[in-house]
Structure formats: structure tokens, C-alpha cells
Amino acid sequence: MKIIPTAIPEVVIIEPKVFGDERGFFMETWNQQAFAKAGLDFNFVQDNHSRSRQGILRGLHYQIQNPQGKLVRVTQGCVYDVAVDLRQSSTTFGQWTGVELSAENHRLFWVPPGFAHGFYVMSASADFQYKCTNLYAPEHERCVRWNDAELNIAWPLVNGEAPQLSAKDAVGALLKDAEVFA
């Protein structure tokens, strides 16, 4: 596998080795030993799978207690995936990095604990799968507003149209008002 650094050192793009021929392809999406050897040593406790239509934006989510690290990928379609550093003690606090994930590019994206995470669906639909280092705890879930001017995330909105949001995502906090990590 190939580890590609981003502007935020703890967030990385992972390109697995893909073996393919006319019959299809094979790739390992998680191998604890190989990932640990590459410096990505995590214990995952939950796998999730979501499907969304084009124009849906989910996020920017995080858990203020029991924070989750997420290893994310797309198995059908294409999304723009974003991680925002919410660790006040970090030199990259309030900065974001993003990557296009698709069934075609096979990329994975590591979003460490202490980051808000969100994605926007660019294709007609997308299947989004992710492994988490901590269980979902709805009482600790928080959301930062997707279009916070302070973050200035360059979402690749289809036809420039505003995304479709859940009710809770529509009222996410601005970074300046959000609960963040020490």
C-alpha cells in the first residue's frame, strides 16, 4: 500500500495495492499487521455502511467524548471527503484537508480522533463504508457547520447548488462556538 501525506500530518490517504484482470479486482482494505508496519496501528470496534444520493452532505461530525478515528472508503460512486482538525493544542487547529474517494480510485482516508469528518456525494449515489475506533455515542455527537466561513472548505458542489442536509447538520455550530478538544 502507498501512504500519501496531506497538509495535516496525522490525516493520510491510503492507496491499497489493487490486483485486477478481465474478471475484476482484489484488494485488502484492512490488514492490521501491514497497517501497523506503516505506522497506522488502530483497533477498530465498529463498521458502518451508508448510501446517499447526489448532493447529500453528511457532517461535519465528531464525538466530543469517546472520539472516533475513522478509516473511510467508497465502494460505489464518488464523494468528496473532509477532515477538520478540532484539537486546540494542534498547530493545524481549524484547518481542513479533503480528498476525492471513489469506487474507481480505491483510496482510503484516515481521519484520526480529534477531527470532525464529513463527505459530499458527487455521483448519482454513493456507498460509503468506514471502520471506527470507538463505538457511536449519540449523546456525545457534535457537528460543525459545513459552510463555516472560518473553515472555508472548498466543497465541489454539483452545479454550484447548496447540498441537502439532515436537520441536525443544518444547525451545526460555527467553529468559534463549537466544543473542541484540548
Q: Catalytic residue numbers?
A: 61, 130
CA nearest neighbour of 78 among 101, 108, 111, 46:
101
